[in-house]
Amino acid sequence: MTDADIAADAGIPADTSADIDIEALRQRALTTLTTARDRTALLTSCVDEPELTAQVSPLMSPLVWDLAHIGNQEELWLLRAVGGRDAMRPDIDGLYDAFEHPRSERPSLPLLPPEEARRYAAEVRGRVTDVLESHAFRGDRLTDMGFAFGMVAQHEQQHDETMLITHQLRTGPQALTAPDPEPVPLFTGPSEVLVPGGPFTMGTSTEPWALDNERPAHRREVASFHIDTTPVTNGAYLAFIEDGGYDDPRWWTTEGWAHIRRNSVTAPGFWRREAGQWLRRRFGVTEAVPLDEPVVHVCWYEADAYARWAGRRLPTEAEWEKAARHDPTADRSMRYPWGDADPAPEHANLGQRHLRPAPAGSYPAGESPLGVRQLIGDVWEWTSSDFLPYPGFRAFPYKEYSEVFFGPEYKVLRGGSFAVDEVACRGTFRNWDYPIRRQIFSGFRTARSGAV
């Protein structure tokens, strides 16, 4: 089956660049870059200089490193590669090369101080605006359909999510605020949904700003399975804790059991039990654990153990994507569970609009054709799958984005979280991390095999 056949099956024109509105594409690029920079400014202006330069955890960079790294990547790709401009600060390229310096080393580097980092990023953005005004959005693969601009906007939003994780890890008073999601009635719908077996189109060959690991579109055969209608909630996960789930090796892989024993893990990250009540710390605020919200800050080992305890399993990556994208009536794969339209506030909890997941069962307008809810936004969802390339994968525009991470060391997460912007979240988007990681905004839903 050719890419054109797959695109037609997915209901998407095979040649998306044949008749494009240049001005609309230019405006989209500018809007997404501006949205990312506004968020970066918020995340780096709400704390004072000592906190910008401090490292709150060896797992994270100082916020000021992320700030200058964002500007440096924008200079490398949009000014030098796309615009053909001379290097502004070649002397700092090595400082902000994520592969040259692991996070644990970054506080000891001669980093740009906060004000200089802000000026540098702002000057880069000013010059990028000039490049954008004359960009043709056609040519090689890097420039076609504005891919480079979309890639850079996604990169900045991914670092904004990383900086939000740093805010969650920091101690001290609350620095960020946002309204809570709208309250919804307790979800009383079916606990699971049947996804019929059969082939579907996984990945994409046509989404203009999709990254290399999402490509190419290809056919996958998936047997019938059931999947949770909503992500697993704090209340459901609490039942696992109270049933001794963290004390029973039956539910854990050998590696997972060793990990929780070695690190004295007894509950999701940021939870603690006090005076007979479970509390959590969320962005500097201590509150009672809300039972109706999707559980967050659990590692893959915890998600896998819960699923085993519940007599279920984690969905594979292919199962998750079929549940999220396949429309069985039209027999095609959509961009999102609700269709091909870009996300709107009624569809999903995205973009740091709220600083917490919405209650389970929220966003009925965003459910899939089969009735699965909250597949996009709220919490990243662990799958059972290792992070591997799709058939026909080609690294682009550099191997270090995806290729160097392929292998069994990393598990795939899908769907995004409340911390993810829509430009970096779609039905084909793939995230990955070590199975021990839980500072990320990670939750899960479970599945079971069979049609009955």
What is the signed CA dihedral for 362, 363, 368, 370, rounded to 10 degrees? 50
pLDDT band at 9 (very low <50, low <70, confident <90, very high): very low
The DSSP annotation for 233-294 comes to BHHHHHHHHHTTGGG-GGGS-HHHHHHHHHTT--SSTTEEEETTEEEEEETTEEEEPPTTSB
Between 190 and 17, the more confident residue is 190
- The tokens describing 97, both together, are 């090369």
Query: Is residue 340 within 8 Å of 334, Cβ to Cβ?
Result: yes
Query: Is residue 368 within 8 Å of 323, Cβ to Cβ?
Result: yes
The pLDDT of residue 425 is above 60: yes
- The tokens describing 391, both together, are 């058939």
**Run of H or E residues at 147:** helix 147-169
Q: List, for residues 346-356, the tens digit of each pLDDT value.
A: 999 999 999 99
Mean pLDDT, to the nearest integer, of 150-160? 98
Residue-averaged pLDDT of the chain: 95
Q: Whole-angstrom Cα distance, residue 294 to residue 317? A: 19
Kindly tell me the burial class for residue 385, based on how many C-beta atoms sit within 10 Å of its own C-beta (0-12, 13-18, 19 or more). Answer: buried
Q: Whole-angstrom Cα distance, residue 47 to residue 76? A: 28
pTM confidence score: 0.95
Q: List, for residues 260-278, the tens digit of each pLDDT value.
A: 999 999 999 999 999 999 9
Query: Is residue 21 within 8 Å of 28, Cβ to Cβ?
Result: no
Alpha-carbon distance values, 140 to 1, 111, 137, 450 (Å):
25, 34, 9, 46
Q: Which of 91, 26, 28, 97 is nearest to 65 (CA)?
A: 97
The pLDDT of residue 320 is above 70: yes
Q: List, for residues 210-246, the tens digit of each pLDDT value.
A: 999 999 999 999 999 999 999 999 999 999 999 999 9
